[in-house]
Structure 1
Amino acid sequence: MTSELTMHRLDGTLRASPTVRLGDDVEPGWRDALTAWARSHGLEITDRDATLAITTRPDHANGAAWVHSPYAGIEHLAPALPGDVLLTRTTGTMPERIAEYVLAWVLADRWQTARYLADSATATWDPSDPPVPPDRNGAVVIGTGAMGSAIARALRVVGHRVTGLSRSGRPDDAFDAVLPLARALDPADSERPGHDEARLDAPGTDVVVLALPHTPQTAGVITPELLQTFDGVHLINIGRGSALRTDTLLHALDTGRVRHATLDVTEQEPLDPASLLWRRPDVTITPHISGLTLPSDVVAALEEALTQIRAGVRPTSAAARERGY
C-alpha cells in the first residue's frame, strides 16, 4: 500500500467520522486553542474514541486512525499503537528555544556569570582572572536531529567548531562534521584499516551536548568509556535523562572528564531532593524547561499534518516509529 493511498484513506476516514479526542494529559490552557482549530476544520471534539486523538496516552488513542503527540517525545505511544495508525508529533519552535538554552549556558560558563553574581551580592570588585576566550573551541553534539542541528548552528555563531555524532554519520550542513556514534563509543574502531574519515577531536572539545531521544538504543548510551575520551568538558543534557546514567556522570565529574554538567533532564524526574546531583557545585539543574511546547506549536503541527494528509502526502511530522522518534 503506497503512502499516498494510505493518506487518502485516512482523509476519507476523517471526513466520514470527523471526531477528535483530547487526552487528559493535554494542558488545560491548550484546550481552547485545539478546540478552535478542530472546529475550524469541521471536526467534533468528543470524550470517546475518535478518528484523531491528541494525546501521549495510548489508552486515550483507542480506535484512532491518527494519533498526534502534543510533544516531541513519542516513547509511550510508539510501541503501543497498531502499525496502521498514523503517529505524528509536535516539534514547532522547540529546536530554536533549546538552542537558545544551550547557548545561554555555554556563554554563562565562558563569562563566569556565577562568579560575578556572587561578587555583586557581596559588593566585591575583583578584576583578577577575567574571562578569556576558551583555548579549545570544539563542541560535540550527540544527536543530529532537529534539536541537535539547531544547537550546532547556534554554537557555530559564537565560534565553536561543531562535530555531530549520530547513528548513521550522515553529513549535515548544520555541522562542521558528522561522525557515526559507534566510532566514538569504540575509539579503537577508527584505528582499523579502511577508516579514513575524520576523527573525533576529543582533546580540542570544550562543550558536549546530549540531544538524544529516549529509545531502547539510547538508554545508557553515554558510557564511562565515551566520557573518558574527553577532558574537562562542559556537558549539557537537553535530550532525555535515560541516555546518561547518574553514576556515570558522577564518575566523570569526580575524575575531571566533565568539569561542569548542566542538566535540563535527569534519569529520574522530578529529581529526588536526596539526589547527590543537587549538592554538587559542579552541577546545574533546571526542571526540564529548555524546550517547552507552546499551544501554537501544537496547532501549527496539526494544521500542517492535516493539509498534507488531504493532499495525499505523508506528514513531515510523522514519527519514525521503528526508531522511536
Structure 2
Amino acid sequence: MTSEPTMHRLARRLRSHPTVRLGDDVEPGWRDALVSWARSHGLEITDRDATLAITTRPDQAPGSAWVHSPYAGIERLAPVLPGDTLLTRTTGTMPQRIAEYVLAWVLAERWQTARYLADSASGTWDPSDPPTPPDRHGAVVIGTGAMGRAIARALTGIGHRVTGLSRSGRPDDAFDAVLPLVPARDTPAPDTPALDGAHTDVVVLALPHTPQTDGLITPQLLRTFDGVHLVNIGRGSALRTDTLLNALDTGLVRHATLDVTEQEPLGPSSPLWRRADVTVTPHISGLTLPSDVVAALEEALEQIRAGVRPTSAAVRERGY
C-alpha cells in the first residue's frame, strides 16, 4: 500500500516534473477534456516518460510514479507495475448507472416486459397470467464494493431484503446482512451463517476480475438457489458459460441477464444468443464518462498534494 510519505514524494515530483502522458488506449473523445484538465493544473502533456500516465496499459507508463486507469478495471496494471507506483482508478457515476441497469432488468423480467412488447407488436390483448409480486423477497449481491452497495440500495428500494457476499463478510450499512463468500474448495467455519437461497429471488454478480474471482461462481454455489433471476454486471470470467447453461437447464436459474460474458464480444455461435431465458447486453451497464475520469483525477491530485493516499487508490493484492 502506498504510504503518506510516498504521497509527499509524489507531490514533490509533480511540482518538479509536472508531466502527463495520455496512453494510446485513451478514448479519442476524452482527450480534449483530459488535456484541458492537465493544463488547468500546470501539467504538461508529453508522449515520453511522465510523472502521471493515464492508461490501462503498463507499456504506456514506463517510469511513471502515478498511473491512473480511466476505467474501474485494473487487471492489466496491478500485477506488473512497480510496488511503489501509485495506481488509481475511475469509479465516478458508474455505481449509480449500474444500479439503474440492474433495477431496470429486474423489473422488466418481473413484469414480463418481453411478453407485453411482443403482444403489443402483434395486436394481442391477453390479460391471462398477469405479473404478480414475487413469493420470495430476498436478493443476493455477490461483491460488496461501490457497485454492489449501489445495487443493494436500489433493490432495497423495491422491497428486497438484500444479503451481500464478500471475502471478509464485513458488515455494511447498504445490506441487510453480509456473509463471507467461501470458495467451493474451502470448508466454511462452523459458525459461518448459512445463505438462505430458498427465499432468494434475485442474484447479482458484481465482482471484479482477479485471479481469486476467476470461475468463482461454481455449480456448487448456484445449487444454493432455486429459480432465481441472475444478473451479471461484474466480469464474465467469474461465471463459466457451461456452468450457467447447466443452472438454466436444471432450473436453478430461471433467467439470466448478462451485461458481461466469459468471452467478449460474444460470438454469434454462442448458445446464449438462442435462449429465451437469457438476455445479453453488450457490456454497457457501467460506461465510463470523460467527466468521471476528470473528477477522479481532480480528487486524487488534491489528495496527493495534501500528502494523503487518494480514496481512488487501488488495493493491489485484491485486484481493485
Q: Name the TM-score, length of structure 2 as normaliser.
A: 0.98
CA distance in 1, matches of 2:302, 2:186: 46
Q: How is 1:30-41 mapped onto 2 (pairs within 5 angstroms)? A: 30-41=30-41
Among residues 295, 304, 317, which one is paired with 2:299 in the alignment? Answer: 304
Secondary structure of 1:226 counterpart: helix
Q: Deviations over 1:232-280 (max 9, x none)?
A: 0000000000000000001001101001000000010101111111111
Secondary structure of 1:84 counterpart: coil
RMSD of the TM alignment (CA)?
1.4
Among residues 263, 280, 298, which one is paired with 2:258 in the alignment? Answer: 263
Contact 2:184 2:221 in 1 (8 A): yes
Secondary structure of 1:225 counterpart: helix
Give 1:186 shift: 7.4
The residue aligned with 2:103 is 103
Give 1:199 shift: 2.5
Among residues 267, 272, 275, which one is paired with 1:277 in the alignment? Answer: 272
Q: Structure 1: give runs of 5+ residues left out of the alignment.
A: none
The residue aligned with 2:288 is 293
- One-letter code of the match for 2:188? D
- One-letter code of the match for 1:85? T
Q: How is 1:228-247 mapped onto 2 (pairs within 5 angstroms)? A: 228-247=223-242
Secondary structure of 2:197 counterpart: coil
The residue aligned with 1:215 is 210
Give 1:5 shift: 1.2
Secondary structure of 2:198 counterpart: coil
CA distance in 1, matches of 2:238, 2:74: 16
The residue aligned with 2:53 is 53
The residue aligned with 1:204 is 199
CA distance in 1, matches of 2:312, 2:61: 18
Secondary structure of 1:165 counterpart: strand
Q: How is 1:69-80 mapped onto 2 (pairs within 5 angstroms)? A: 69-80=69-80
Give 1:185 shift: 4.2
Give 1:48 shift: 1.2
CA distance in 2, matches of 1:259, 1:137: 15
CA distance in 1, matches of 2:165, 2:214: 16
CA distance in 1, matches of 2:214, 2:55: 24
CA distance in 2, matches of 1:248, 1:199: 22
- One-letter code of the match for 2:181? L
Q: Does 1:88 align with 2:88?
A: yes
CA distance in 1, matches of 2:178, 2:34: 38
Contact 2:2 2:309 in 1 (8 A): no
Identity of aligned pairs, percent? 83
CA distance in 1, matches of 2:241, 2:318: 24
The residue aligned with 2:131 is 131
CA distance in 1, matches of 2:135, 2:58: 49
- One-letter code of the match for 1:189? P
CA distance in 1, matches of 2:184, 2:262: 20
Q: Structure 2: give runs of 5+ residues left out of the alignment.
A: none
- One-letter code of the match for 1:268? Q
- One-letter code of the match for 2:180? P
CA distance in 1, matches of 2:13, 2:5: 12
Aligned length: 320
Runs (4+) of structure 1 exceeding 4 A deviation are 184-188
The residue aligned with 2:121 is 121
Relative to structure 1, the CA distance from residue 210 to residue 2 in structure 2 (aligned partners, 3 Å threshold; closer, same or farther) is closer
Give 1:198 shift: 4.0
